[in-house]
Amino acid sequence: MSGPDPASGDRGVGTQTEPVSARVVPSWSDPWAAAASRVVGGPLGRHALIGRARFWTPLRVVLLIAVAVLAMGWLGKSPCLQQYRDDAGNLTLDWRDSRQYVAMCYSDTIPLWGVENLDDPAALPYRDAWIQDEGTPDETVRYMEYPVLTGFHQWAAARVADAWTGLAEQTGLLPSALPVVVYFDVSAAWLALAWLAVVWATHALRPSRPWDAVLVALSPLVAVHVFTNFDALAVAAATLGLLALVRNRPLLAGVLLGIGGGFKFYPLLLLGPIFVLGMRRWRDGRTLAPALRTSVTALVTVVAVNAPVALAWPTGWLEFFRLNRTRPADPDSLYYVLSHFSEWAGFDGRLTAGEAPAVLNVVSIVLFALCCAAIAALAWWAPRTPRLASLAFLVVATFLLVNKVWSPQYSLWLVPLAVLALPRTRILLGWMVLDALVWVPRMYYYLTPAKMGLPPGWFLGAVLLRDAAVIGLCVLVVRSVLLPGTDPVRAIGLDDPDWPVTAPAVPAKILV
C-alpha cells in the first residue's frame, strides 16, 4: 500500500498545513550529495520522474538507513554485554580489565540496573529507598534519580526483563542471558523505536526537503549515544510535539512536550521559542492562539505527570532535583575545562563531598537567562519572523554550553533541531563526527593514565573543540535569522514550515 506522493508535499488528507512551492533535489543543490551520487550513476536527470516509486519512497529509504545505524549502535555496545563464569562458576558480566572503557562500549543502562535498585522486583521507584555506601562515612539514603517517566520506563523495562528470563528458565524455549543483559536489550528496543519516531517526524516536517532526514538517520551521534542513556525518549516526544504544532494541533503538541518534560527537562525549553514566536506573530497581526494553547497544555501535562509521584512520595520525587543542585561541574562543562587548564578553584572554591556549588548554580542559571533574553531580542527585532527550528536550536545549544553538565548523550537533543534549522550536509556532518569522536578520549580519560588511559588534557581539549563547533553552528543560525536570504529552507519560498499555517498548497515543482 503506497502512501501520499512525497513529491507533492502531501501530509495526508486534511493535514496539509504549509504551501509547498518546491521539492529540493539534493544531488542538484548539495555538493556532497552530488559527489555521493556518482556511486549510483550521478545526479538525478533533468527529465527523471520522481515521487512515482511504490515502495522505495524517501521515507522508507531514510528509515532503512536509520535501522542500519541503530544496529551499528547496538553492536558498538555489545562488548559490554559479554558474560563469563567466575571462579565459583557463577555467570557474571564481563567488565574485567575495564572493558567498558577499553572497548568504548560503556552505557549508563547497565550499571543503573544495580545502582538504581532495578534488580529488586519488589522495589518501586520514588517510593522505596536504598542505602548507598552502607557502613562507610559516605553512607546515604538514595532514591531513583531520574525524572518520573524515565524512572518508570527503567522500572518497566526491568520487570519485562524479569518476566523474560523467568519464562526462559521455565520453558527453555526462549534465548536468555543475565537479567541485566536482557534489561539492556529491552531498553534498547524502546530507544530504537523512539529514534525511528524522531526520523519519521523530521521527514514529515520537511515535505519539500525529505532527504534532510537522512542527516538524523545517519548521524554518528546516534550510532555512539542512542543507547548510552534514555534521552532518545525525550527527543522523540519533543520532535513529535513540533510536528503536531505544524499540523495545527497545539493541544496535542503541548501534551507531547509535557510528556517529554517527564522524560527530560529539555523538551520544556522549546516552550520559550514557541511563545516568543507567538508574540512576534501577534505583533505582526497574526494569532497568538497556537503558542498559548501549546504552552499552557504542556505545563498542565508536565504537572499532571509529576503530581501523583510528588504527592505520594515527595522525598523520592525530589531526589532528581537534589542531585542536580548538589552536582558539581562535570568534566564536559566549560567551567571544569577552564578550572583544569587555569588551575582556578571555581566559583565556589573547593567543595566537600555532597556540598552544593551554590554560586555555580546561580551563574549557570543567570547565563542561560541572558542567552534566552538575547535570543528573544533577536526574534523580536529580526527583519523577518525567524523560524521556530532556528530559535529552538539556539535555546537548547546555549543551555548546553552554559550548563554545568553536558552528558555525552545530551548532544542527541541537538540533532533534529540542527537539521531543521541548518540543513547543510557538510557542516552538520562535520560537527556530528567531531562530537561523536569526543567519546574516544572520554573513555580513555575515565580509564586513567594508571591503566594506560589518556591524561585529562586530551579529553578536555576535545570538549573545547566540540563546544567551538556548536558555537559555530549558533553563529550560522543567527546569520540565517538576520539574513533570511542565506536560509536554505526559505530559499525555496517557504515562510516557516515549523509553524501552523492554513494557506493552500501550491503545486510542487523541482528547483533547477
Q: Closest Cα partner for 229 from 328, 145, 313?
A: 145
Number of neighbours of residue 449 by Cβ within 10 angstroms: 11
pLDDT at 15 over 60: no
The packing angle between helices 148-171 and 179-205, to 10°, is 130
Q: What is the mean pLDDT of residues 493-506?
A: 67
CA atoms of 121 and 126, how far apart (whole Å): 14
User: Picking from 98-107, 282-291, 397-406, which range would have the lowest pLDDT averaged per residue?
Assistant: 282-291
Contact of 454 with 444, CB cutoff 8 Å:
yes
Q: What is the mean pLDDT of residues 374-380?
A: 97
Q: What is the pLDDT of residue 27?
A: 52
Which phi and psi (to 5°) does residue 392 adopt?
A: -65, -45
CA atoms of 132 and 67, how far apart (whole Å): 39
Q: What is the pLDDT of residue 44?
A: 56
Q: What is the pLDDT of residue 354?
A: 72
Q: If you write DSSP's letter for every residue of 382-450 in order, what string do you get?
A: SSSPPPHHHHHHHHHHHHHHHSS---GGGGGGHHHHHHHH---HHHHHHHHHHHHHTHHHHHHHHH-GG
% of the chain beyond a pLDDT of 90: 70
CA atoms of 66 and 277, how far apart (whole Å): 32
Q: What is the pLDDT of residue 49?
A: 55
Q: What is the mean pLDDT of residues 178-199?
A: 97
Which of the residue ranges 113-127, 390-404, 486-500 has the most confident prediction, judged by mean pLDDT? 390-404
pLDDT at 164 over 60: yes
pLDDT at 60 over 80: yes
User: Picking from 37-41, 137-141, 327-331, 465-469, which range would have the lowest pLDDT averaged per residue?
Assistant: 37-41
Cα 5 → chain centroid? 29
Cβ-based neighbours of 287, under 8 Å, separated by 6 or more: 281
pLDDT at 86 over 60: yes
Q: What is the pLDDT of residue 12?
A: 34
Q: Can you name the residues that pair with 93 across neighbouring β-strands?
A: 83
Q: What is the pLDDT of residue 46?
A: 64
pLDDT at 207 over 80: yes
User: Picking from 36-50, 153-167, 284-298, 330-344, which range would have the lowest pLDDT averaged per residue?
Assistant: 36-50
Q: What is the mean pLDDT of residues 355-362?
A: 91
Could you give the C-alpha distances from 240 to 253, 268, 440, 470, in angstroms and in order? 7, 13, 32, 24
Q: Which band of pLDDT confidence, cut at 50, 70 and 90, is reported for residue 48?
A: low
> pTM of the entire structure?
0.89
Q: Which band of pLDDT confidence, cut at 50, 70 and 90, is reported for residue 133?
A: confident
Q: Give the mean pLDDT of the chain.
A: 88
Which of the residue ranges 23-32, 87-96, 165-174, 396-405 has the most confident prediction, judged by mean pLDDT? 396-405
Q: What is the pLDDT of residue 493?
A: 72
Could you give the C-alpha distances from 194 to 63, 191, 357, 501, in angstroms and in order? 12, 5, 35, 27
- The cell numbers describing 208, all together, are 519539500
Contact of 325 with 360, CB cutoff 8 Å:
no
Which of helix, strand or coil describes residue 239? Answer: helix
Q: What is the pLDDT of residue 20?
A: 41
pLDDT at 473 over 90: yes
pLDDT at 17 over 70: no
% of the chain beyond a pLDDT of 70: 87
Which of helix, strand or coil describes residue 105? Answer: coil
Residue of higher predicted confidence among 510 and 368: 368
pLDDT at 508 over 90: no
Q: What is the pLDDT of residue 505?
A: 39
Q: Which band of pLDDT confidence, cut at 50, 70 and 90, is reported for residue 350?
A: confident
Q: What is the pLDDT of residue 512?
A: 31
Q: What is the pLDDT of residue 507?
A: 42
Number of neighbours of residue 40 by Cβ within 10 angstroms: 8
Could you give the C-alpha distances from 308 to 127, 143, 314, 317, in angstroms and in order? 12, 16, 9, 10
Q: What is the mean pLDDT of residues 183-206?
A: 97
pLDDT at 38 over 70: no
Q: What is the mean pLDDT of residues 247-269?
A: 96
Q: What is the mean pLDDT of residues 313-317?
A: 96
Number of neighbours of residue 451 by Cβ within 10 angstroms: 12
3 state SS for 19-43: CCCCECCHHHHCHHHHHHHHHHCCC
Cβ-based neighbours of 248, under 8 Å, separated by 6 or more: 17, 290, 500, 502
User: Picking from 16-30, 223-237, 381-395, which range would have the lowest pLDDT averaged per residue?
Assistant: 16-30
Which of helix, strand or coil describes residue 302? Answer: helix
Q: What is the pLDDT of residue 184?
A: 97
pLDDT at 256 over 70: yes
Q: Which band of pLDDT confidence, cut at 50, 70 and 90, is reported for residue 504?
A: very low
User: Picking from 63-77, 308-322, 492-506, which range would have the lowest pLDDT averaged per residue?
Assistant: 492-506
Q: What is the mean pLDDT of residues 234-255?
A: 97
Q: What is the mean pLDDT of residues 94-104?
A: 93
CA atoms of 140 and 327, how far apart (whole Å): 15
Which of helix, strand or coil describes residue 66? Answer: helix
Query: Is 377 buried (19+), middle (13-18) or exposed (0-12) by CB count in 10 A?
Result: exposed
Q: What is the mean pLDDT of residues 416-436?
A: 95
